[in-house]
Structure formats: C-alpha cells, structure tokens
Amino acid sequence: MKADRYFHPGDSDVVLVMLILGSSAIAIAISLYSLNSGLYVIFQNFFYLPIVLACFFYAQRGFVFSVVLSCLYVVMLFSFTQDLEHVIGALIRFILFIFVAAVIAALAAGQQRTKEELAASRQNLHDIINFLPDATFARDMDGRIIVWNHAMEKLTGTRSGEAVGKGDYEYTYRLFGKRFPLLIDAVLENDPDRIREKYPNIQNMDGVLSTDVEIDDFYGRRAVLWAVATSLRNHQGEVIGAIGSIRDVTSSYDTGAQLQQANTSLSQVNTKLQLISRLTQHDLLNTIQALLGYIAMARQAAPATQPLLEYFGEIDALTHTLCAQVEFARDYQRIGIKEPVWQNLQDTVARGLATVVTPAGIMLTTTIDPVEVYADPLLERVIYNLATNAIDHGKRTTRIAFSTLQKGSAMVIVCEDDGVGVLEHYKKAIFTREHYDNNGYGLFLARMALSITNLSIQETGVPGNGARFEIIIPEESYRPAKDSTSPDQGPV
C-alpha cells in the first residue's frame, strides 16, 4: 500500500482492505434489500462505516473511494425511485458523505504529516547523537538503555542493538565490567547529599552535572574520565529519563599535572636566580661606589692638568652609566615576577605617592575613583615615577594632580603638572630605553610594567603648558571597588 495511509506499524494492510470492502459490500447489500422493500431512509447510514475507515486509514485514496461509493449510493436509489423528494434527500446525503470524507481525509493527512515529521525529527536527533565525538548514552525512568551512540560502541565494543532496551545498569557493566550507579543515575535522584557523597567533585550548572573520576583499571590501564549528565524531558516538561556523555581526559590530566610540576620547579629555579641576581647586583653596586670613591681621591691627588681632568671626567661618567645600568637591570627583573592582582586604585596611588619627597611650593593632589585595577604589583612604582618625573624635569612645576576619568569603555589614570611639558618629537621617545634629559629608564620601565595586563601609557600634554601622562586601562582590567563608595580627593 502507498505510504499516505495513517496506520500503526505491524498491522496488516490486507485485513484493513478486507474490512473496508466488506463493510462496503454489507452497506450495498442492505441498501438493495431496503430499496426492494420500499425503504428509502434508514439504510444509507451504513455507508458511513466504509467511508470513515477508508478516509482515516488511506486519506487521499480513501477520499476517492468514498466519492465512488457515494455516487454508487445515488445511482442505486435513482434506479429504484425517481420521486423528487427521495432524489433530493439522496443528493443531500451524497453531499454529507463527501463532506465527512473530506474532513476525515484532511485530519488523517495532517496526522500522517505530523507522524512523518516526528519520525524525521527522531532520525535527525539519532544522527546528531551518533555524530557526537563523546561516548553518549541515555536511559529511561526504568533504567533501560534507549540511546547508545557510535562513540559508545567504539569505547565499549558493544553494538547499539546489544545494549538498547537492557536495564540493571547494563551501561556500567559494558564500561567497567560491574553493575553500579553512574552520574547519569544521580541526575534522577532528588538527594543532593547522596550525590555529593558519591561524587565529591561534582559540579551542577542549571541541572547539568559534571565531574572527573579517576579509574584504576579501565580496560587494563589507569584513566581519568570526565562525565556529564542531565535529565531528558518530554514536551510537557516531565522527566522521562537522563542522558550522559563520557570523555577520556587522561592525557590532558597528565599534561596538566606535568605542567603544574614544571611550574613549581620553574618557580623554585626563578627564586634561586633572583637571589643570585640580587646578591650580584648588590656586590656590583658596592664595587662601583668604591670605584667612584677612588676616582674622587685620585682626582684630588693627581696634578690638575687639562687632559687628566678630562680622563677623570670620562671615567666618572662611564662609572655612573654602569651604576645606572645595574639599577635598571635590578628594576627590570622585578617586572612580571609576581602575578598581576586586583588592587584598589585609591590605595595603590596613596602607596606610590607616600615616599615622594615634595619640595616646597609644589602641591600634590589626587582625585581617584573607587575602582580596582588588574595590574602588575609595580603599578604603585609607576605612580611614584610619574610624580618624581614631574618634580625633577618640570623645571617650574608648582602643581601635580592625579585623577581618573572615563574615555569610552576605558578608564584613564591622569598625571598632569604645570611644568615645561614635553616637546612633540619626544613624546614617544621618552618611553624607550634611550635617555631623554637625564630621566633614566623610569618611563620605559613604567610602560613595560603596565603592558603585562594590556595597560598602556602615553603623553598628551601641550608643550609649554605642562606634561600630561595618561594610563589607559581597558574595560576588562578594572571594576568597581568593593569597599570604597566615593572618590578619594585631597592633597597628599
């Protein structure tokens, strides 16, 4: 039979056709008997049975059959009587037959389409689950397996047909050779404490449970399995089972453990290197200071001839340069040594300015919003360098102000003064290792320390009106402070 009939799988088409034809034959036989007996009213109701059966089970073809059967009814009645009243009644019943047949055929066709769409949807879902790279299976409320994908077949060596329909923890038996509850069973339990007892490391995100489990003997080897499970629900939201996936993460777990061990070893080596470096720098600085002392004594003891004085001047300058380079190396190695942290900006600015020696006649003020900044711990050293830079190189500085402002989605820390400012062609050069007006490496180190967490610094002042340094903090690197509710404002 054609696929447009709406019928449950397993029933026989032959029986159905015999039923429709048999009921049609009975209706025709009763009609002939009634017409021979002069009865023209009751017998036609028997035609509804074959019409309903044909249209319900065969939709479109059933409707055509019903039209033929209805026409046969009209022809039979017209053959026995031409009475106008009976003919009109027969035509009305013919229209009713066609109407009933059309309605039932339309409903049946709609049900058939729904059934086909549901079957297609189930097949798509089946294909999607089979396509998943993780071993995935599902169980119903009675514990029977209802889904067993290709990855599960590959992992266990058990075909889907051998597993689907079986209960009594068949999935754990196929996985581990034993029968016991898994995470997928915990999904259906309403006892969080019991679940937590079984799986101490379990995580629950909106009803999706996940955990890592270490197995000593998983097909002859140690393994770490990541499992995830959640409930299955019908269209009414009722729980009808659970679905879960398993992934072998042994290699990732081992790599993570090795990486952690390597980081620990690296940290220990780094600590030792820092200690050696600090001792070496300390010894170098002491030696350089002693050398400077001997140079000063030699200059006093030697004859004051012009060439000799020039030589002493060059030696003194080179020695000071060497001292500056050692100090630069000491400061540079601190960058990135400690992990970046969230720090209260008001507190950081206050600590950075606490050791700044402010000459008489210079006012140092702050207006800092209550925010936390994710930055290298050397941020307070950057604040210190900006303040001392304004004091040492502003020449006529009387005011230094630190403040914060919003620029788009970014937060900006501003340090501005009323000194001589920075010439246009030096605005970028001052952040490099090259010396500018004897400012050392402070601004270069500031730029490097800020870049650890994608903070940046630029000079935007107007030459002659004062310097203006802006530290730009991207949106992801600042947040409202937990304890502060108002800006910190006032002289330092």
Nearest CA to 155 among 85, 230, 244? 244
CA 124 to chain CA centroid, nearest Å:
25
Tens digit of pLDDT for each residue in 163-177? 888 888 888 888 778
In a domain, 1, yes or no: no
Domain of residue 98 covers 13-128
The DSSP line for 385-410 is: HHHHHHHHH-SS--EEEEEEEEETTE
Q: What is the CATH number of the domain that holds 385?
A: 3.30.565.10
Q: Which of 87, 110, 128 is the last residue of a domain?
A: 128
In a domain, 217, yes or no: yes
Q: Which of 248, 271, 305 is the last residue of a domain?
A: 248
Which pLDDT score, from 0 to 100, does residue 112 have? Answer: 80
Measured at the CA of 338, the angle between CA 332 and CA 342, to 5 degrees, comes to 120
In a domain, 2, yes or no: no
Q: Stretch 180-195: mean pLDDT, rounded?
A: 74
Q: What is the CATH number of the domain that holds 205?
A: 3.30.450.20
386 and 318 housed in the same domain: no
In a domain, 317, yes or no: yes
Nearest CA to 187 among 233, 134, 151, 122? 233
Q: Which of 248, 264, 293 is the last residue of a domain?
A: 248
103 and 212 housed in the same domain: no
326 and 272 housed in the same domain: yes
28 and 145 housed in the same domain: no
Band (459; pLDDT cuts 50, 70, 90): very high
Higher pLDDT, 180 or 313: 180
Q: Residue 91 contacts by C-beta under 8 Å, 6 or more apart in sequence?
A: 74
388 and 486 housed in the same domain: yes
177 and 303 housed in the same domain: no
In a domain, 69, yes or no: yes
In a domain, 4, yes or no: no
242 and 290 housed in the same domain: no
348 and 473 housed in the same domain: yes
78 and 101 housed in the same domain: yes
Higher pLDDT, 449 or 219: 449
**Cβ 274 vs Cβ 337: under 8 Å:** yes
Is pTM beyond 0.75? Reply is no
The DSSP line for 156-224 is: H---HHHHTT--SSHHHHHHHSS----HHHHTT---HHHHHHH-TT-EEETTEEEEEEEES-SSSS-EE
Q: How many domains does the chain have?
A: 4
Residue 41 in 3-state DSSP? coil
261-275, 342-356, 372-386: least confident range? 261-275
56 and 109 housed in the same domain: yes
Tens digit of pLDDT for each residue in 193-231? 666 666 767 777 777 888 877 777 777 677 778 888 888
Nearest CA to 166 among 140, 145, 139, 142? 145
263 and 236 housed in the same domain: no
369 and 487 housed in the same domain: yes
In a domain, 48, yes or no: yes
CA 73 to chain CA centroid, nearest Å:
69
In a domain, 7, yes or no: no
Q: Stretch 220-249: mean pLDDT, rounded?
A: 82
- Cα dist. 69→49, 223, 352 in Å? 11, 71, 100
